[in-house]
Amino acid sequence: MTEAPLLSVRNLRVVYPGDDGDFRAVRNVTFNLGRERLGIVGESGSGKSTTGRAIMGLIAKPGRVEADQLRLGDTDLMKLDEKGFRKLRGKRIAMVLQDPKFSLDPVMSVGKQIAETHRQHFGSDAKTARKAALEMLESVHIRDPERVYNQYPHQVSGGMGQRIMIAMMLIAGPDVLIADEPTSALDVSVQSQVLAIMDEMVRSRGMGLILISHNLHLVSTFCDRILVMYAGQIVEICDAGKLNEAQHPYTKGLLAALPELGHRRNELPQLQRDPTWLVDLPAAVGADT
């Protein structure tokens, strides 16, 4: 990669202290993010969401984030305090969560929430912020932005809610968007629309996208590259199109365990977990990418 990465993660660890010593929810995680769509897949508890939250500075105490390097462009995220992160979030790095019903403020009209983000980061007046919010709503393909602007979260559908979230997250023009299961709560008919919008926005703005998902199918068709996580570590990095050539037995096991339309098997091969997968891997696994 000739261009400097947008995000550079070296040997990231997220540690929660426990009665039996520290628990490392994320360990030895190393990767670079360029202007690309990077997928992180894994099962519940694999550390994929925690990795995203660590980058956003959202790990609550007593959890600790440790890393040899965690840089967003020229900013060292390890040196930031909460105040510093607050300036950064939304402006340079943003996150879309699974269910818009819970991530939107239920007692504020959606337009105001988007405008608030604009005012916060640009110190703009109400009129400018409103105009920017309306433009943003239009850019996520909402046909009647004026009407949606005045609606409250409970009045919009799930798909519409996720468009609104995307609009809010992108209004301050971040370089990196982290989407954590952005379509899992949506109907299949709207899932692909939301993904297409995210794709369009990320491409047209030259952003980097991290898509966190448990859906192997989706990630392999949507992303450029995939990180496969197991028990807090990246066990494999592969090109999205080459997921079926994956080497790690965990990735292979997951793929085999998926039921397939038109290829009915009497019994699905069940994943046999190997204790050796838990052994610490060299942190340099994703360093050269």
Residue 153 engages other proteins in binding (rule: CB under 8 A)? no
Residue 200 engages other proteins in binding (rule: CB under 8 A)? yes
Beta pairing, strands 208-213 & 37-41:
parallel
CB-CB contact of 202 with 223 (8 Å): no
42: phi > 0 → left, psi -120 to 50 → alpha, else beta; which? left
Residue 242 engages other proteins in binding (rule: CB under 8 A)? no
Residue span binding other proteins (CB under 8 A) among the ranges 53-61, 85-93, 110-118, 210-218: 210-218
Q: Name the token pair of 246.
A: 């994956």
Cα–Cα dist 1/289, whole Å: 7
Residue 138 engages other proteins in binding (rule: CB under 8 A)? no
Residue 217 C-beta: closest distance to other proteins, Å: 5
Residue 253 engages other proteins in binding (rule: CB under 8 A)? yes
Residue 64 engages other proteins in binding (rule: CB under 8 A)? no
Residue 280 engages other proteins in binding (rule: CB under 8 A)? no
3-state helix, strand, coil in the chain (%, to 5): 40, 25, 35
Cα–Cα dist 80/65, whole Å: 12
Residue span binding other proteins (CB under 8 A) among the ranges 15-23, 95-103, 105-113, 184-192: 184-192
Binding mask 83-122 for other proteins (x = CB under 8 A): ----------------------------------------
Residue 179 engages other proteins in binding (rule: CB under 8 A)? no
Q: Which is nearer to other proteins, 69 or 221 (CB)?
A: 221
Tell me the longest C-alpha to C-alpha distance in the chain. Answer: 63
Geometric angle at alpha carbon 178, from 173 and 182, rounded to 5°: 110
Residue 264 engages other proteins in binding (rule: CB under 8 A)? yes
According to the 3-state scheme, what is the secondary structure of 75-102? Answer: EEHHHCCHHHHHHHECCCEEEECCCHHH
Residue 151 engages other proteins in binding (rule: CB under 8 A)? no
Task: Name which position in 64, 141, 154, 242 contacts other proteins (CB under 8 A).
Answer: 141
Find residue 93's DSSP bridge partners.
89, 176
Cα–Cα dist 69/195, whole Å: 30
CB-CB contact of 56 with 262 (8 Å): no
Q: Which residues contact 221 (CB under 8 A, 6 or more apart)?
A: 240
Residue span binding other proteins (CB under 8 A) among the ranges 25-33, 91-99, 115-123, 189-197: 189-197
**Binding to other proteins in span 217-236, by CB under 8 A:** 217-218, 220-222
Residue 49 engages other proteins in binding (rule: CB under 8 A)? no
Residue span binding other proteins (CB under 8 A) among the ranges 13-21, 67-75, 122-130, 155-163: 155-163
Cα–Cα dist 276/256, whole Å: 20
Residue 274 engages other proteins in binding (rule: CB under 8 A)? no
Which residues form the interface with other proteins (CB under 8 A)? 43-44, 141-143, 159-160, 163, 187-189, 191-193, 195-197, 199-200, 214, 216-218, 220-222, 253-254, 257-271
